[in-house]
Structure 1
Amino acid sequence: MEPSVEIVEVSARDGLQNESAVFETSEKVRLIEAALSAGLKRLEVASFVNPKRVPQMADGEAVIAALPDKSDVTYIGLVLNKRGLLRALETRSGGKRGVDEVGLVAVATDTFAQRNQGQTSLESAELCRDMLALASREGMRGQVTLSASFGCPFEGRVSFDHVINMATIVAEGEPVEIAIADTIGVASPARVTELVERLGAVLPEMPLRAHFHNTRGTGLANAYAAYHAGVKTLDASIGGLGGCPFAPKATGNISTEELVYMLEESGIGTGVDLARLLESTKWIESHLGRRLPSLVAQAGAFPTPEVACL
């Protein structure tokens, strides 16, 4: 099938940032190369944040410098402030490939935004707008994720009116896309559909992406609802690796192999090789010494008749 959904692989950044086990630079590069071999072409590879707060991301520049230079692949670096943006831009100095795109973050509630970035939610949206302008001047693509779009661990439910207001502020900076993120895994398909449709009505020309956590078991259902509401780019993490270190109980991202299995079995092309993904999950599990949440990783792909259970 021709791909009709783009999957952004986030295991090397959002996946690893919540892990206590240390992945060496070479192992992060190996994880990224495994994702590339499975056909994934847009990947979060580093986070330009304070290494004291997120130690796993301290070697971002070294990881980026070691990545294969593939013309059909987009490497994304996460930044939370102008200092991080300058670090991302620096990876391209001296004619180096560096990151191709920066992912900016605006947090949809004041309490979470203050804890995460030291500012209000509207201030975080305005900062993203300003950083997009700076990135554009330097020839860097930029996109924005509206974190905690559905719920906040400190303030509860989030008003969609507020999320949409933030999106319109961010859109003034002309990002390549805006993502809605269910950072703590509280969304439901009905609410996902509502928010996507409302954003589409207000910003009809803006491409939308969605980022879901499977904290309460609704991640895949939410991804399916987002797709049918008009989202054609979805984040996922090999094995379901990840979580947010700043949000209590925000467990893993939706699993890339589960997302690929669900979409492909529904006749929706992804361009991703499921067998290669499963190999990657087994390697990560061996490094961590535990199983990852992905059920497809445990059960395998669709069984052949010879091994089907009767």
Structure 2
Amino acid sequence: MATLPAPFLPSHVNIVEVGPRDGLQNEKSVNTSHKVNLINQLTAAGLTHIESGAFVAAKRIPQMADSTSVFQQITKKENVIYSALTPNLQGFEAALSAGADEVAVFTSCSESFTQRNIHCSIEESIQRFIPIIEAAHQHNIRVRGYLSCIVDCPYEGKTKPEQVSAISDTLIELGCYQLSLGDTIGTATPLRIARVLEAVLDNVPTSKLAVHFHDTYGQSLANLYQALLMGIQTIDSSVAGLGGCPYADGASGNVATEDVLYLCHELGIATGVDLESVARAGWTICNALNKEPASKVSLALRAKQSQR
């Protein structure tokens, strides 16, 4: 039998842990101590970029109203980025005051989704980023960009790769150091991810891109593998698979950090993160939320542990 050639894969990937923000922003029973404990556990597990809060209007996302307290109470570790989502200049200033190391702005490839999510057009959302990016650069703080609905929109249907590419170019030109490309409703398949990445990579290098996949249709790991084959080295994931999009019916959580770690480690890709420690962090927060982890790797490790 012929030996299959080894595909090109990166030797190392960076994991951006979004669980404390994206994973918890819709959980009604979460409190500040839960978040602080989770972030500290994730830090101890070796994660070096943890999205720890969002400085948004409390009436819109009340679960993030304690972000200042969270940033003040976590035990920070040197060389770990504790970042925050900031939709406007006021949010940026609050994040800066709280001690965030990095901030993120967000828009969409879909006009309808942008209107329902942040109540403005795509162009208006981009204009809001300009003062944030200018202020951030004055304080030597990097700005990351989130771009949602890169494959499908729950209101408009399929997204054209050319649209994703055009907005990506604009955000990089404005000064975002990296773009996180989001399959917001989790409907993508590997071929469609490849087509989007091909379009974006015409002008944006892989070093400035990350992927942010949801697992609604169970395709997130397959899509992730496709992205890895195309040179992507930064992956957004959420401990225990927590999260989901409140503006997209049926959109389940982000791809689980535990599942991403298992895939990468089995492929020989270094992450610098301890899988079992992340799983334990997931069990702890899920117990607090009275729910089961969405990660199959987490569930398998827990079952294995119970048999010891």
Runs of 5+ consecutive residues of structure 1 not aligned to the other structure? 92-97
Alignment of structure 1 residues 1-310 onto 2, 5 Å:
4-21=12-29, 23-91=30-98, 98-204=99-205, 207-300=208-301
**Partner amino acid, structure 2, of 1:86:** E
Give CA deviations for 1:277-296 in whole Å, capped at 9, x if unaligned: 12112212221222121111
Q: Is the 8 A contact 2:58 2:64 kept in 1?
A: yes
Q: Is the 8 A contact 2:206 2:232 kept in 1?
A: no
CA distance in 2 between counterparts of 1:162 and 1:57 reads 31
Give me the TM-score of the superposition, normalised by structure 2.
0.91
Please state whether the residue corresponding to 1:300 is helix, strand or coil.
helix
Q: Is the 8 A contact 1:261 1:301 kept in 2?
A: no
CA drift at 1:19: 1.4
**Matched pairs, number:** 298
Q: Is the 8 A contact 2:43 2:77 kept in 1?
A: no
Percent sequence identity over matched residues? 37
CA distance in 2 between counterparts of 1:125 and 1:163 reads 14
Give CA deviations for 1:39-61 in whole Å, capped at 9, x if unaligned: 10100000111111111111000
CA drift at 1:149: 1.2
**Partner amino acid, structure 2, of 1:18:** N
Please state whether the residue corresponding to 2:286 is helix, strand or coil.
helix
**Partner amino acid, structure 1, of 2:20:** A
CA drift at 1:298: 1.2
Give CA deviations for 1:195-239 in whole Å, capped at 9, x if unaligned: 222212212375101100001100111111111112100011111
CA distance in 1 between counterparts of 2:204 and 2:15 reads 22
Q: Is the 8 A contact 1:200 1:206 kept in 2?
A: no
Q: Is the 8 A contact 1:143 1:175 kept in 2?
A: yes
Please state whether the residue corresponding to 1:161 is helix, strand or coil.
helix
CA drift at 1:73: 0.3
Give me the TM-score of the superposition, normalised by structure 1.
0.91
CA drift at 1:181: 0.6
What is the root-mean-square deviation in Å for CA atoms of aligned residues? 2.1
Q: Displaced runs of 4+ in structure 1, greater than 4 A? A: 301-304
Give CA deviations for 1:43-99 in whole Å, capped at 9, x if unaligned: 0000111111111111000000112232210011001222212221222xxxxxx11
**Partner amino acid, structure 2, of 1:19:** E
CA distance in 2 between counterparts of 1:279 and 1:269 reads 20
Runs of 5+ consecutive residues of structure 2 not aligned to the other structure? 1-9
